[in-house]
Structure 1
Amino acid sequence: MDDSEIKVAILGLGTVGSGVAKILLKNSYNISQKVNNTVKLVKVLDKDLTRERELNLPADVMTDNPDDVLLDPEIDIIVETIGGINPTKEFVIKALKAKKHVVTANKEMVAKYGNELFKLADKNEVDFYFEASVGGGIPIIRSLKESLTANQIQEVMGIVNGTTNYILTKMIQEGVKFDNVLAEAQQKGYAEPDPTSDIEGYDSAYKLSILSAIAFGSSVNIDDIHLEGISDIRQEDITYAKELGYVIKLLAIGKEVDEEIEVRVHPTMIPDDHPLAAVNDAFNAIFVKGDAVGELMYYGQGAGSMPTGSAIVADLIDVIRNINYKTNNRISCSCYEDKDVKSMSDIISKYYIRLEVIDEPGVLSSVSGIFGDNNVSIESVIQKGKVDDTVPLVLVTHQVTEGDIQTALKEIKELDRVNEIGSLFRVED
């Protein structure tokens, strides 16, 4: 073994940071053998040095002063596990300018500022790796950048948020109401005290931005991603979905169609025999379609201390190999084109629609007439019994543009015998 020592520091000792530290300590011998160096964890930043931790590290390793990490000339690689933008982005910039390699799991920072950070890393001839930013322990970034690089990627679609998938699994399998499952998820630590980023889809959008940029070779602005969360999903829609042979999942969907990129995050009905339909609880799965390789699916734990730590340490090992062999093998931005993002009104999909209507003759005819006038054809209809003088009218359309469906629904909403448009879900077959 080479006697040279690689010194590593961690910013943040929360769930993910603790996982990284545990792996580095537990597997230190194997890691050192694989890279032909001694790998030593020398500093860990934690804002509260007095709190109780599951992992006890020596006092001289712990610090609450960022400069003890960022300005230490002995430290070779910094692992960022704080998350968020402030002050994290400034810490990372300071580290890169100090010519330290950086490994991160921070999907928001990579999605919003990745290009800036990649350029800074290149300028300072250091690595900026981010495998753990999408899919936890699933090696999706490296697969898209390396193993599938010969392909023209046509589609990336997946369940990339474990919290929402856990909630929907409980709602589907046990009939539990959304609010009750959310409270349970918070108690188990699957959901944050403020669950907005998860349940409203922001977390999935950050990850889709990263995946789409790599898959389609063009930057995707977060603001260009159509976004809907899961908080409005009702049990009746889950029931009707089952009756129609579908399962509801929160999907991140990226497609390239006619040199335009289609990016959206929303609850989606998929056939109950689709591979993604069987992905339950807090697991993630990402479906990829390439022109040469065909269809692939990556499945595994998408979050958590050890799975995410596994991806981070794998990146760390790659960085050390780059250092040893003095290679310029940086995983940087592969955005070599500037493709337009397709307007949501132009996307084509099937739709599930639930209307609450007055139980009178001619309602279905009126609704069908408006749909027909707007180029919307109906594939199937379910009509159930009365609930407080109204009946649910459930329809599934054939393929139609979003613009046409929205125009039709505006007109249908004005009908006297339509009480409300209860729900709308896009259907991916």
Structure 2
Amino acid sequence: MSDKPLNVALLGCGSVGSQVVRLLTEQADDLEARVGAPVRLVGVAVRRLDAPREVEVPEGLLTTDAESLVAREDVDVVVEVIGGIEPARSLILRALEHGASVVSANKALLAEDGPTLFEAAGKASRDLYYEAAVAGAIPILRPLRESLAGDRVTRVLGIVNGTTNFILDKMDTSGAGFSEALEEAQELGYAEADPTADVEGFDAAAKAAILASLAFHTRVTASDVYREGISEVTAADVASARDMGAVVKLLAIAELSDERVSVRVHPAMIPRSHPLASVREAYNAVFVESQAAGQLMFYGPGAGGAPTASAVLGDLVTVARNRLTGTTGAGESAYAEREVRPMGETTTRYHVAIDVDDRAGVLAEVAQAFAAHDVSIQTVRQEGRGADAQLVVVSHQATDAQLAATVDRLRQMEIVRDVTSVMRVEGDAE
């Protein structure tokens, strides 16, 4: 035990920052015992001193001068929970330059410019930890970085955005449309007034980049991630999935194949027997496949002030222990430098709903369109008659480019009135 306190500077005091303040205050004695020294909050940088906050910040700690706070010589650890790219990036770099270790929850920054931060941390011989950047309270980054360091991860499949999972779950359980489910999510506080980052997949894409980077020891940025959101998912899509014994989820998928990495975020149908299918409401889960360990699943609350603050405090304890012993934890591992595979070369399956003329020979012409692009049909069924005739086709595995070309061809055919739905299928949905 050391009598000398470890000083912590906090950047941001919103929903997560407020809970970090609360936990540091309420659990001070426990944290001291776990770390081996007192952990003392010495400053909290905010935009406005008079803004309402969820907790009372001890007198004298609030400041609007974040740059001076992170440059203080007595600060050992800087916790960044303000989000966004700037000024977060500049503040983190400044903190590292002045000898502080950093704990961050900033998924957008890490996915866009993580290498710059890791290089700065390495140069300064300081820690950069970021468990809270992906899936809230769920411990997933440390297992990938440390627990599975001796294994070969081949696939990471996850539900990493609580807002979209809540919306899709409501659509599945109640039959609601997208707009109706989104409105309920906003009323309950699961979705922002501007939900674009969530429903269009930007949030999940940033998290997918971080997961892929750790899993495959390769630098992957958000721009490398193929992204589709859920705003085009209809009640008919969800009902069709139900008929197949499947459910629609927004998935973050990172795969290693032929020494190349593919990373994508999009809605997909997965069989209800898959562990991820049972993830309800705003919860998150990440499914990891590796050669030696096999299949692992990590589940829990993926957002919220207290759960995210829990992950922040976990990192803070580790970083503080390292400071006491004069060591650092595992830094960036990007030795593999694997190529990121374009989405068009990624193999997947499609579920395609096609409004067609109800006459003899239609099925043969549709099948020919698939065959022309070397796409094999797994199942096909007809729904409705006459003007309501629709074919629902599920393909076998093919490249995404082949499947996209097939759909383009279908849209040009005279017998096809409309291609009403195109959705990828993961797992063994039949």
What is the TM-score of this pair, normalised by structure 2?
A: 0.97
SS state at 1:231 partner? coil
Counterpart of 1:34?
34
How big is the shift at 1:392?
2.5
Segments of 5+ residues of structure 2 without an aligned counterpart are none
1:251-400 matched pairs, under 5 angstroms: 251-329=251-329, 331-386=330-385, 389-400=387-398
Segments of 5+ residues of structure 1 without an aligned counterpart are none
Count, aligned residues: 427
Counterpart of 1:171?
171
Counterpart of 1:405?
403
Paired with 1:114 and 1:398, the residues of 2 have a C-alpha distance of 37
Answer yes or no: is the 8 Å Cα contact 1:254–1:263 preserved in 2: yes
Paired with 2:17 and 2:417, the residues of 1 have a C-alpha distance of 51
Q: Which amino acid aligns with 2:232?
A: D
Q: State whether structure 2 residue 420 is matched by structure 1 residue 422.
A: yes
SS state at 2:19 partner? helix
Answer yes or no: is the 8 Å Cα contact 1:114–1:333 preserved in 2: no
Q: Which amino acid aligns with 1:65?
A: D
Q: Which amino acid aligns with 2:338?
A: K
CA deviations over 1:246-283 (Å, ceiling 9, x no partner): 11100000110010111111001111100000001111
Paired with 2:38 and 2:420, the residues of 1 have a C-alpha distance of 61
SS state at 1:8 partner? strand
Counterpart of 2:231?
231
Q: Which amino acid aligns with 2:364?
A: S
Paired with 2:197 and 2:331, the residues of 1 have a C-alpha distance of 26
Paired with 1:336 and 1:165, the residues of 2 have a C-alpha distance of 34
Counterpart of 1:127?
127
How big is the shift at 1:386?
4.8
Counterpart of 1:17?
17
Counterpart of 2:241?
241
CA deviations over 1:275-326 (Å, ceiling 9, x no partner): 0000011111001111111000000111111111011111110111101111
SS state at 1:111 partner? helix
CA deviations over 1:6-37 (Å, ceiling 9, x no partner): 11111111111112111111111111111111
Over the residues paired in the alignment, what is the CA RMSD in angstroms?
1.3
How big is the shift at 1:390?
3.7
SS state at 2:371 partner? helix
Counterpart of 1:95?
95
Paired with 2:203 and 2:148, the residues of 1 have a C-alpha distance of 25
Paired with 1:258 and 1:129, the residues of 2 have a C-alpha distance of 30
With 157-166 and 335-344 compared, the bigger mean Cα shift is at 335-344
CA deviations over 1:62-89 (Å, ceiling 9, x no partner): 1122134123222211110000102111
With 72-81 and 311-320 compared, the bigger mean Cα shift is at 72-81
Q: Which amino acid aligns with 2:391?
A: L
Q: Which amino acid aligns with 1:102?
A: V
Q: Which amino acid aligns with 1:98?
A: H
Answer yes or no: is the 8 Å Cα contact 2:16–2:308 preserved in 1: yes
SS state at 2:316 partner? helix
Paired with 2:385 and 2:53, the residues of 1 have a C-alpha distance of 56
Answer yes or no: is the 8 Å Cα contact 2:19–2:55 preserved in 1: no
Paired with 1:84 and 1:311, the residues of 2 have a C-alpha distance of 19
Q: Which amino acid aligns with 1:383?
A: Q
Q: State whether structure 2 residue 198 is matched by structure 1 residue 195.
A: no
Paired with 1:217 and 1:187, the residues of 2 have a C-alpha distance of 40
SS state at 1:85 partner? coil
SS state at 1:366 partner? helix
How big is the shift at 1:417?
2.1
How big is the shift at 1:427?
1.1
Q: State whether structure 2 residue 218 is matched by structure 1 residue 218.
A: yes
SS state at 1:355 partner? strand
Q: State whether structure 2 residue 46 is matched by structure 1 residue 46.
A: yes
Paired with 2:238 and 2:301, the residues of 1 have a C-alpha distance of 25
What is the TM-score of this pair, normalised by structure 1?
A: 0.97
SS state at 2:212 partner? helix
SS state at 2:158 partner? strand
